[in-house]
Structures are given as structure tokens and as C-alpha cells.
């Protein structure tokens, strides 16, 4: 009996999260199409690592794509039964206006449409963000914030939260088209991502996510997720046929000053504390985020 696992695609495999998903899929025996977006800022360290991996890993195929070029996506998806979609700032300059937001939305529409035109496509696992759910006025008056919640576009624009706006509009556009094309899609709404060399490999998205972080902390909706755990969740969301809808993905809600300090130190040198900083109090913020759906999906997975 042939137990060979099917081919899947990771786009953009050169993002921090995409790269970890790529590694997880290869370790499980999948053939992976690593779709790498053209980057006007030049070839990143992650791209160089992928090209080195290709020299020794026969189950890894590398494609260069432009998410605004529909046909380049079609080529990368050919023969794949699933897409792990990890769209992010592609030029390395961060999220700073409506133009950046529009580019990501247009890219998502092209990717989902390409999936609809790919024979044998079974599922899209769409990497999104908690920032697509937690930015609304008076959210502190809500007892629970779960997968039914969406960020308010006008509020994001008012505070110039371009990253949150991009993730909100991009995910909504992907959902609308996926439902119209009757595609099986799951979204993973991640907290701020931490992990090895995150400050080096994911600086723009990290800093964009953390805009108005103090307000997220006070509202009880600042949370983080380890990248290895996040990659595992994406792969389980694909392998588990019962998954559907959105999944809030985080390891811990940051609700004390001590936890906030730990988070800052894990993201050094992007952000840093004064030397010999000491916690000033023991106030505990309310925890509003809920991830009951995630708990069922990751049952039995040990996270350190």
C-alpha cells in the first residue's frame, strides 16, 4: 500500500510563521510547495535557508510568486490538496497606510480564487491575527471575546492601526470568496508570535502588531503564541477533517506586569526595558479572550 502523503503548498513560505509550518510539514512526510513572494528589499535569511534545504530535501519544491499575479499562484498550487496561506508585509517596510492594506487584501483574493481553480484542492488554512478581532470601542465592557468577534474598520482607521485593519479586511475578503466558491477554509487567529530569532526574522509584523499594545493589555486582549505551537495548530487544522471556521490561537493572555515584562524581553532588541527594571505592582487585568475551540484541536499536544 502506498502511504505517501499528499502535496501541500505554503504561501508565503518566507514569512516567519510560514517557514515554521513548512518545517513541520516536511517533518511529517508531506511534499511541500514552498511559494515565496518576490521581495523588493532583497532575499531574506529565511529564503536563503529554504534554498539550502531544497538542496538536500527532495520533497521540497520552491516557487517564486507574486500574489498580485494570479497565474504565478496557479503554478505553485498545481498538484496540491491544501494551501497554508501566510500573507504578510511582503516588501519589508511594514504597515503604514491604506495602500499597504489594499495590497494584502488583493493578494488574498487572488490566492483564494487560485485555490478555487486548482483541481483537488481540499482545504485552505488561513493564517490571520487576533488583531482582526480585538479592536473595537468599548471592548472592555464585554465579558468574553471569541471567534465571533471582528475588529471595527472605522476604529482601526481612527487609531491608524493599519496592521489590524489589514488583517481584518484580508480575512473577511478571504472568507467571503471562499464561501462563494464553496471552498473548505479554516482561519487561525494568532496572538503576537514569539520564538527563536523572532526579532530578527519577523520585525515589521511584530512591531505593527504591538501598536497600542498598552491598550490591548488594559483591555485584557493582549496574548502571545509560540511559533512552534502555532505551526502545529495550522497542521492539525488541515489534518483534522472536522475543523471549521475561526480558531483563536494563543498560549497565554498577558494580564500582569510580570507577564508583560517577560513578553518584552522575549522580543528584545525590538523593544527593551531600562536596565535593572523592577515590576511596580501586582495588578491583574481581566482576561477577555476565549479559545475553547482551540483546546479541543490541540488536545494531547504538550507545549512547554
Q: Which of 123, 167, 211, 292 is catalytic?
A: 167
Please check whether residue 76 is in contact with residue 117, taking contact to mean a CB–CB distance below 8 angstroms: no
Is 167 an annotated catalytic residue? yes
Signed CA dihedral, 270, 66, 125, 57: sign only: negative
Nearest-CA neighbor of 285 among 226, 216, 207? 216
Q: What angle do CA 202, 290, 100 make, to 5 degrees?
A: 35
Distance CA 50, CA 46 (A): 6
Distance CA 10, CA 245 (A): 20
Distance CA 110, CA 68 (A): 7
Distance CA 109, CA 87 (A): 11
Instruction: Tally the residues of the chain.
Output: 304
Task: Give the three-state DSSP class for 8.
Answer: strand
Chain centre to alpha carbon of residue 203 = 14
Which positions are annotated as active-site residues? 167
Amino acid at each position: 500500500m502506498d502511504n505517501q502523503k499528499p502535496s501541500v503548498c505554503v504561501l508565503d513560505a518566507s514569512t516567519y510563521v510560514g517557514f515554521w509550518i513548512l518545517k513541520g510539514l516536511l517533518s511529517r512526510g508531506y511534499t511541500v510547495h514552498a511559494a515565496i513572494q518576490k521581495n523588493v528589499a532583497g532575499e531574506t535569511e529565511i529564503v536563503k535557508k529554504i534554498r539550502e534545504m531544497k538542496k538536500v530535501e527532495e520533497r521540497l519544491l520552491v516557487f517564486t510568486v507574486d500574489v498580485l499575479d494570479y497565474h504565478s499562484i496557479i503554478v505553485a498550487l498545481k498538484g496540491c490538496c491544501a494551501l497554508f496561506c501566510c500573507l504578510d508585509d511582503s516588501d519589508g517596510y511594514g504597515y503604514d497606510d491604506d495602500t499597504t492594506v489594499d495590497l494584502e487584501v488583493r493578494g488574498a483574493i487572488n490566492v483564494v480564487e487560485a485555490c478555487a481553480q486548482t483541481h483537488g484542492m481540499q482545504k485552505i488554512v488561513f493564517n490571520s491575527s487576533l488583531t482582526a478581532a480585538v479592536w473595537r470601542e468599548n471592548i472592555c465592557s464585554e465579558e468574553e471575546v471569541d471567534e465571533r468577534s471582528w475588529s471595527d474598520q472605522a476604529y482601526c482607521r481612527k487609531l491608524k492601526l493599519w496592521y489590524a485593519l489589514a488583517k481584518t479586511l484580508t480575512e473577511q475578503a478571504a472568507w467571503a470568496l471562499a464561501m462563494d466558491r464553496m471552498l473548505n477554509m479554516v482561519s487561525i487567529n494568532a496572538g503576537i508570535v514569539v520564538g527563536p530569532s523572532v526579532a530578527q526574522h519577523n520585525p515589521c509584523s511584530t512591531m505593527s502588531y504591538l501598536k497600542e499594545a498598552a491598550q490591548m493589555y488594559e483591555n485584557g486582549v493582549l496574548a502571545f503564541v509560540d511559533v512552534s505551537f502555532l505551526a502545529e495548530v495550522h497542521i492539525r487544522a488541515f489534518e483534522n477533517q472536522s475543523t471549521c471556521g475561526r480558531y483563536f490561537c494563543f498560549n497565554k493572555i498577558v494580564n500582569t506586569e510580570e507577564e508583560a515584562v517577560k513578553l518584552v524581553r522575549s522580543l528584545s532588541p525590538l523593544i527593551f526595558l531600562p536596565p535593572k527594571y523592577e515590576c511596580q505592582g501586582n495588578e491583574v487585568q481581566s482576561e477577555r479572550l476565549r479559545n475553547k475551540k482551540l483546546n479541543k484541536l490541540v488536545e494531547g499536544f504538550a507545549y512547554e
